Chains A and B, each alone.
Chain A
Amino acid sequence: MTPTANPRVQGVPGLTPPPPEPPPASPNYLENGTSLWSWLSTVDHKRIGILYLLTISAVFVLGGVAAGLVRLNLVTYNSGILSEDAYNRAFTAHGVLMLFFFLIPAVPAVLGNFLIPMMIGAKDLAFPKLNLASWYVFLVGLVFGAWAILNGGIDTGWTLYPPYSTRGSQSSVVPGVVGVFVSGFSSIMTGLNILVTVHKMRAPGMTWGRLPLFVWSLYATSLIQLLGTPVVAITLILLGVERVTGEGIFDPAIGGDPVLFQHLFWFYSHPAVYIMILPGFGVVSEVITCFSRKNIFGYHAVAWSSMGIAVVGFLLWAHHMFVAGISYYSALLFSFLSMLVAVPSAIKVFNWTATLYRGSITFQAPMLFVIGFIILFTVGGVTGLFLATLGTDIHLHDTYFVVAHFHFVMVGGMVLGYMAGLHFWWPKMTGRMYSDWWSRVSAAIIIVGFFLTFVPQFYIGYHGIPRRYPNYPPEFQIYHVLSTAGASILGLGYLIPALYLPLSLFYGEKAGANPWSATGLEWASPSPPPVFNFDEERMPVVVCGPYEYALGIDQLGRGLPEPPGPGGAEGPAGRAGVTGPAGPMQKETEVVG
């Protein structure tokens, strides 16, 4: 059953109902050459997105295995399973892989690559060859990372603080640093490409005020990638040179200052956590409007809070260094600024919640992930306030409290956001629906497992148990055991999508162009989309903002198909008899604010 089979179309008077899906004139992007070479040499942003998807999925598995080793070892209080050296290498591998090779490229390079041109009505990103180059550069970085791991691993922690990383460590620091350095360029390339594309290649009528919020959030992300990454690049060069030559500018033996490294490192690495979380915000805004059939509450507040986070995010790096010997007054300043960045995040949470008000909400997997996101991100966000507050940070710094806070934001926030996005756009990317039931089960398991993993860590962090400790006081063993039990549930939760998503490619129902009845331009194109995204004779012309769910029109002003029903049994492609929204004229009277 295709959406057009339903005669109930709520068009705006004078605008045409959606035309019947045209028979694809050009091959879709998946069919445009099937040889391996056609993939490896592609400059199609959608294919490059898929290449990234495969790559980072592999990284996620590797990083997950490292996390598993860490959690397993912590079941014992005396490092009873791994040696201390092995444990140190495992948590470093987990951190480096997950942060630099999974979270940073996850949404920008997979979903961003795939969706940004489609959402703004362009045929491709501005620099397709640069885009492909960014993937190869990423691979080169990954090869160096893998070399470091195969060569015995790195034991410095992902923060690479000298002088330990320059003189103390006996491990393969240099290949690891080169890997992170090289992959940084891939991140810059992706960011630059997205920025230029959003600036210069928007479809007619796609004004800044009509951009989907996903585009806004990626725009803010790209800005950070562009301006932050080069600083860590030069820092890593300086670190690498010092490591190789035995002398350099962070070396206290000749008057160098190791704290300077921390400043330079966090100048990038603090904004980098916004590279990781901002795209998740974008996904939430897209999904929550679609599954509640509502306009986003306060479009401008949500859009500008992303930009606010990107800008303020550059001004608070030293809140990682409150006990690192920085001056009293700079600690005060950075604590104050850190409070400022919490405000836009809070605004977003309130606006998302308000969006649900008087909606018509259904709970398919993307929505479940998003609800999980909001709850977990809120917990992660408010626990961050304890760390931004000077008096409490003195105790909580470098304890499991930090670990739990960071994972609540990064896994609870970003990974769930990524999962939501993947599930939301999977039909667009592949043309197939996945199992509705299994996807809901997986979302539930992931959220429950996540809570069980990280809530105990808040508690032992409050007790002052330091992070990166394979040996810890025995009385805290029970909490580590609980956490590991949670991690195994979490692992199971991730395993299920790894099965039903690939299976859907072969057994999944055909998705149709707009299975969720969403408003974005990407849904105006067939699934999977043709090579240049749209019918080239009729490139999209945008007539209204995103999220006109209440009016029942998409950004081209065409009526939306009937949204999928609330029930799981029929699947999203099923069209349960639900009353559609009323006419648009009646709506205008209900506009608030």
Chain B
Amino acid sequence: MSASTHAHSPVLKHHFNDLGQQHASERLGMWMFLATEVLFFGGVFGAYTCYRLWYPAEFELASSHLNKTFAGINTVLLITSSLTMTLAIRAAKLGDRAGLYRNLLLTFALGAAFMVIKGFEYAEDLHEHIVPGASFGGEIAADTAKHGLDAGKVRLFLCFYYVMTGIHGIHILVGLGVILWLVGQTYIGAIPPENYSTVECASLYWHLVDAIWLFLMPLLYLARGAVHYGH
């Protein structure tokens, strides 16, 4: 398929007329995929909003038991990784192969660090029984009872916490896979400067995953916000 009868760039696929068309298609396709992703997370954000309005006290209490330090570090890591990803596009566009390697690997390292910290956080949550279902207990349960709140709704918040961060984590893992694939493509020379659009598409995805975290972080960890309740 990629064997072109035309004397064009080797990265031009046969069914496109020229690279401009090919890249425009790839970018449009990626933007449409991002629209899908937004609606995907939109569903669970909408559901979260309903319950957040119905059960503010429980959600604030549950949120205050999550580890903000881990979340804060993770936010910094992801924002930085968006920068390195953008630098990778620039390197690809300039044909700076070393720079491309460096920035891709940096992005990968930052993303991986995010997942490792997330893993520690989950382990801590499990240890402290900050989980929905039968294992719910420990300090968070005691606190709930102390404030006369309903444990069911605290667990409801935790359902959201695990589903939202879990799905986000899966997206990060997919992104890490894509970055590794890009490193491989760079290695075999499939990303010449005229094909930097491939890196750009990957970066669009990475930025979206980053942006979703920027919504998750305040929704889940900072829910308590300025509202003061309790004793």
Interface residues of A (CB under 8 A from B): 43, 122-128, 188, 192-193, 195-197, 199-201, 226-231, 233-235, 237-238, 241-242, 245-249, 251, 253-257, 260, 264, 267, 532, 536
Contacts and interface: CB of A to CB of B under 8 A. Distances in A.
A393 B51 CA distance: 29
Interface in B43-58: 43-44, 46-47, 50-51, 54-55
Contacts of A126: 15, 25, 29
B128 interface: no
A192 B29 contact: yes
A155 B55 CA distance: 33
A565 to B, nearest CB: 38
B152 interface: yes
Contacts of B36: 188, 192, 226-227, 229-230
9 tightest CB-CB pairs across the interface, nearest first?
Answer: A254-B152, A230-B40, A234-B43, A124-B15, A123-B15, A230-B39, A200-B25, A231-B43, A126-B25
Contacts, number: 111
Contact of A231 (B1, B33, B40): B40
B132 interface: yes
Nearest to B28: A196
A247 B155 contact: yes
B43 A192 contact: no
A257 B1 CA distance: 51
Interface in B64-94: none
A123 B29 CA distance: 18
Interface of B: 1, 5, 14-16, 21, 24-25, 28-29, 32-33, 35-37, 39-44, 46-47, 50-51, 54-55, 132-133, 150, 152-153, 155-156, 159-160, 163, 167
The CB with the most chain A CB atoms within 10 A, among B21, B24, B36, is that of: B36
A186 to B, nearest CB: 13
A40 to B, nearest CB: 16
Given A188-B36, A226-B32, A255 B167 contact: no
B44 A238 contact: yes
Contacts of A188: 36
A257 B29 CA distance: 36
Contact of B133 (A227, A245, A536): A245
B29 A127 contact: yes
Contact of A254 (B5, B14, B39, B153): B153
A246 B134 CA distance: 9
Given A255-B156, A256-B156, A532-B14, A249 B51 contact: yes
A251 B155 CA distance: 11
A532 B28 CA distance: 23
Contacts of B15: 122-126, 128, 201, 532
Given A226-B36, A241-B163, 8 more contacts: A128-B15, A200-B25, A200-B28, A234-B40, A247-B132, A249-B156, A257-B50, A264-B47
A237 B32 contact: no
A260 B35 contact: no
22 contacts: A124-B15, A126-B25, A192-B33, A196-B32, A197-B25, A201-B15, A226-B35, A226-B36, A227-B35, A230-B42, A230-B43, A233-B40, A241-B159, A245-B132, A249-B47, A249-B159, A249-B163, A254-B153, A255-B51, A257-B51, A264-B43, A264-B47
A128 B1 contact: yes
A195 B156 contact: no
Contacts of B33: 192
Contacts of B133: 245-247
A251 B150 CA distance: 14
A96 B160 CA distance: 28
Contacts of B41: 234
Nearest to B152: A254
A190 B46 CA distance: 26
B47 A238 contact: yes
A538 B208 CA distance: 41
Contacts of A193: 29
B32 A195 contact: yes
B26 to A, nearest CB: 8
B150 A260 contact: no
A246 B133 CA distance: 7
Contacts of A241: 159, 163
Nearest to B37: A230
Contacts of A257: 50-51
A260 B28 contact: no
B150 to A, nearest CB: 7
Contacts of A264: 43, 46-47
A437 B40 CA distance: 49
A38 B39 CA distance: 37
A177 to B, nearest CB: 15
A196 B40 CA distance: 20
Given A123-B14, A246-B133, A255 B35 contact: no
A529 to B, nearest CB: 14
A460 B157 CA distance: 45
Contacts of A247: 132-133, 155, 159
